[in-house]
Every structure is written in C-alpha cells, then in structure tokens.
Amino acid sequence: MPRRSKGLSATLITGALLLASVGAGGVAHGAGVPAPHGAAAQAPAATRSGHATAASVTTSPEDPDGDGYIPVVPAVTGVTPSTQDPPHRYFHEFQANCSVTRTATDDPIVYPQQPGRSHDHTFLGNTTTDAYSTTASLEAGATGCKAPGDLSAYWMPTLYNGDQRILPVGPQVIYYKAGVTDYTSVRPFPKGLRFIVGSPMQSADEFRHHPGFVEGWECGDSYFNTEFPATCPDRADVQLNIRFQAPSCWDGRYLDTPDHRSHMAYPVVKPGTNDNVCPADHPVALPMIEFKMAFPVNGDMSKVRLASGPGHTFHYDFFNAWDDPTLKALVDHCIVGGLQCDARGYDQTHPEAGAALDENYELP
C-alpha cells in the first residue's frame, strides 16, 4: 500500500467522522475502529454517551507526525512469495502460553497516549501494557507468558456476565503457526510490529466468514457459533471457548498503518493448487497467530456479552516485543522445523529434536 502524503493524511484524519455506538461495559472501540482494508486513514472520534465528534491527529513517540504510518527501518525488500512445496509436515507450530495481567479501558494501537478512551480490554502477556505503551516500554517490562523472552502485548475485549468481568484463568494458548504451505519460508516478526485481528464493527455475517474464523464460540457440544450460545452445560469442566487466526503475510514496509490492518494480509490459494501463499503485495511470510481463549462461564449465557458488544464483535490486538533471538529460535526450530512444540519449543512426539529453550523457557 503506497504511503500517502502527510498533508492528505492529516486532512483525512482531522476531517473525518466515525459513528459508533457505545458497547456495554465501556466506550465503544468503534470510535477509532480501523477503517476497512485499504481505507485512507484512522479517524478516532470521542464517543462517550454515543456521540461522535470531529477527530484529531494523534501523535505518539513512534509516530510523531500522527499520520498512522510507522515504517520499519530498513524495509524488507526483494522478497518473492514462496511457492515451494516442502516435505509434508502435519504440524509446524509452537505455543506462547500467556496469562491475563490486567484489564483497562486502554488501547495503545488505536488510542495511543489516550488512557480511558477505549472499551474495556483484557490484557495478556506484557505486564506493563497501557495506553502509553511503545516498543521500548514493552521491552523494558515483564511478562505473564511462560517464556521470559515473550514481552509482547496481547489484548481483546473483556467478556462480561452481567456486570461481572469473566477473565481467562491461567496460561492461555496462543499458537504461532505457519499460515503458508511453505512453512520453511516463515521468518520471525519484526520488533514493534502491531496489528488488529477482526473488528468490533464487523457484522455477524462478516465475523462468520472472516478468514480468521476457526470454530467461533463453542462450549460443550456446541460449535461454530457466531453469537454466544444461549446455554452451556453447567459443569466444572465446561468453559466458553473461541479460536481466531491472524493474518500472516506482511508488506515488509510498515510496523503499523492508519487502519492497523493494511500492512498485513491473509495467505491466498495459489491458482490451480491447494497451496497457501502470500499475495505479491504482502510477500513476507510471518508466523500466524491463533488465539485459543477459554472463559470460565457456563450455564445460563443470556447475560454474557463483550465490552465491544455481541459475540460477533470479537477481535484482538498484537504488539510484538519478543526478544529477537528467543523468537527466532522458536520459529526456526518449531515452524521451519515442522514440529508441534510447547512453550519450550519441545515436541513430545519428536524427542530426538530436543527443545529450543531450557527448563526455564530461556535460551540455553
């Protein structure tokens, strides 16, 4: 996506209005909801009491001119989407097991430097994530993930049952997988990459047919739900679950763009094959993140909702702050190596391959 002139971006940003309704539990994320793929610029607007106001340029230490573009230096050039078909491996993944660290009405991607502007979010991973988070601040923080090297921030709209927050308990499963057929072409995330998966403004139909949709909301024997099931089995072993996958092809140019999406894309099917490849304008294959969240709620689900609204408004955010050598070791060993790894980078079915990290989840 070509970079627009700063003058044009500023005009679009300052002159735009976004109408959004206030979701139960907080101010609507829709106020600064990323525009559809390819839209010109983010147009954050205040939406308290449901009223939209004229947007203004938002600056941050990483985007001082407030145009929404954060270039990567140096840019990754000369990459052609791989169409190779390596030896078949059923798995090429590892887990990042991360616990909830806090909830807050902050969003450092959509509303940087604006605490309290968002609807309520549940944060996992980095323990310092707030409205003021930058790559540098996350790198200086601590983590709720098993691997100390995973200082990344992950967040999603908070789930409520009535007025009670329902937070995932214990380490949650965040998969890092190959989204393309040539798993050997996957490389680590660039430091500071950030993006949003899904949208709080998507319709139920858009949610159901989103390329990241895996199984929707599920509990007990109920699967592929766009909205929360009316009831779930009232048993201790039953929780509400969702799985949702992120785009994994990068343009190689920007760590963020005004809509927080356009620098990323989902793989496409190569014509005449069943192979997944990156599109030509997003040629760099990165790990595909998959959220697999479990919420301890069951029984009567009639009052269950998200801070962003109904079940179909589910979305999540990712801000990469991994220690570079640790992430590279896991990507190379587990994804490129065609293994099914835990958070140590160990595949129980292939013990001969060893682990990428030691018993403390650190590089040996």
Helix (H) or strand (E) holding 325: helix 324-330
How far apart are alpha carbons 316 and 319 in whole angstroms? 10
Q: Which of 2, 357, 342, 359 is nearest to 149 (CA)?
A: 357
Amino acid at 5: S
Q: Where are the domains of the chain?
A: 68-353
How far apart are alpha carbons 160 and 364 in whole angstroms? 41
For residues 134 and 183, is the Cβ–Cβ distance under 8 A?
no
Q: Which of 157, 36, 58 is nearest to 110 (CA)?
A: 58
Can you read off the two tokens belonging to residue 295? 């919420």
Q: CB neighbours (10 Å) of residue 362?
A: 13
For residues 238 and 261, is the Cβ–Cβ distance under 8 A?
no
Ranges of the chain with pLDDT below 50: 1-56
How far apart are alpha carbons 138 and 321 in whole angstroms? 6
How far apart are alpha carbons 118 and 124 in whole angstroms? 17
Can you read off the two tokens belonging to residue 52? 């939209």
pLDDT at 59: 85
How far apart are alpha carbons 296 and 104 in whole angstroms? 20
pLDDT at 57: 57
- Report pLDDT digits (tens) over 225-234: 999 999 999 9
- CA max distance for the chain: 60
For residues 314 and 244, is the Cβ–Cβ distance under 8 A?
yes
Whether omega for the bond prior to residue 283 falls within 30 degrees of 0, making it cis, is no
For residues 160 and 305, is the Cβ–Cβ distance under 8 A?
yes
